[in-house]
Structure formats: structure tokens, C-alpha cells
Amino acid sequence: MAEPPVLVADTIEQYLLMLTVVDGRSPLTIASYESDLKSLLEHLGSEDALLGVSGTKLDSYFAQLRSLGRKPSTVARAMSSCRGFYRFLVDEHLLEVDPSTRLPVPGRAQSLPKALPETTIDALINGIQGNSALDIRDRMII
């Protein structure tokens, strides 16, 4: 007897359920991943395309997201959603090859800390009284 056809919508739901139950992801994360996968599906145009996509096609999708001005963190999350989904499909034997393996793993952008106001810095420096070597050192550090 032939296997019933795989419905992409069902596999996305199974993947999101696994993220919720097994990985303990938050509802906001699940909603974001669902949105990312539906956006990818819309870009590819059909459910068959999602299951038969090439790494090159995935690259072009993420390049398009960047060209649309999406934040690097948004593109990184979309890549993570995509990689996780395709890894899930391979683990569940719904795909033989993971097309997302050549996607880059972007590092997290780190923002610089906010500078202290000048009045706060002055208060810190003036709060160190004395002329010992340690007091002078502390003032120099600040």
C-alpha cells in the first residue's frame, strides 16, 4: 500500500509541536518560526517546492530578505527556523538530504554598552577621596 502524500502544512505543525513540547520553546518563538516558514513557503510558491528546494534557492530567499531591509537578527532567526525545519524533516525520514546545510550560521551582533552620563562619571571620580596609590589608580580607571 502506498504511503499517503506528505502535507507540508502538517509537517510544519509537527515541527512546531516538537519545538513546544520537546525543546520547550516559548509561544512567541513558535509564532516567529511559524511566520518564517510560511514566508519561505510563500516565496517558493508551492508545497512541493518547499520539500524539493535547493540550497541555492534558499540562499536567494535570504538574500531577498536582506535586500528588503530586514534586520540581521530577523534574517538570522529565519535561517535558524529553516535549518531546524529541514533537520526535522531529515530526522523524520521525510527528506533524504538537508538543503539548508550550506546556509551560513550568522553570529549574533553585539551592541556596545550605553555610555554613562558625564555627571555620573564626575560623581564617581569625585567620590574617590584620598591620594593613596589605590585611590589614584581607581580614579584613573574611571
**Residue 47 pLDDT greater than 70, yes or no:** no
Mean pLDDT of 14-31: 93
Q: Where in the chain is the domain with CATH 1.10.150?
A: 8-91
Q: In the CATH hierarchy, which fold is given to the domain comprising 8-91?
A: DNA polymerase; domain 1 (1.10.150)
Q: What is the DSSP letter of 23?
A: S
**Residue 3 pLDDT greater than 60, yes or no:** no
- With CA atoms as reference, report the closest residue to 91 among 33, 40, 23, 1: 23
CA distances, 124 to each of 111, 115, 137 (Å): 24, 14, 13
Mean pLDDT of 42-50: 78
Name the least confident of 28-32, 65-69, 82-86, 125-129: 125-129
Mean pLDDT of 11-22: 92
Provide long-range contacts, Cβ within 8 A and 24+ apart, for 123-132.
none
**Is 0.75 surpassed by the pTM of this model?**
no
CA distances, 95 to each of 15, 50, 52, 140 (Å): 14, 11, 9, 61
pLDDT per residue as tens digits for the range 59-103 = 989 999 999 999 988 999 999 999 999 999 999 998 899 999 988
C-alpha cell at 27: 509561544
- With CA atoms as reference, report the closest residue to 79 among 102, 60, 54, 105: 105
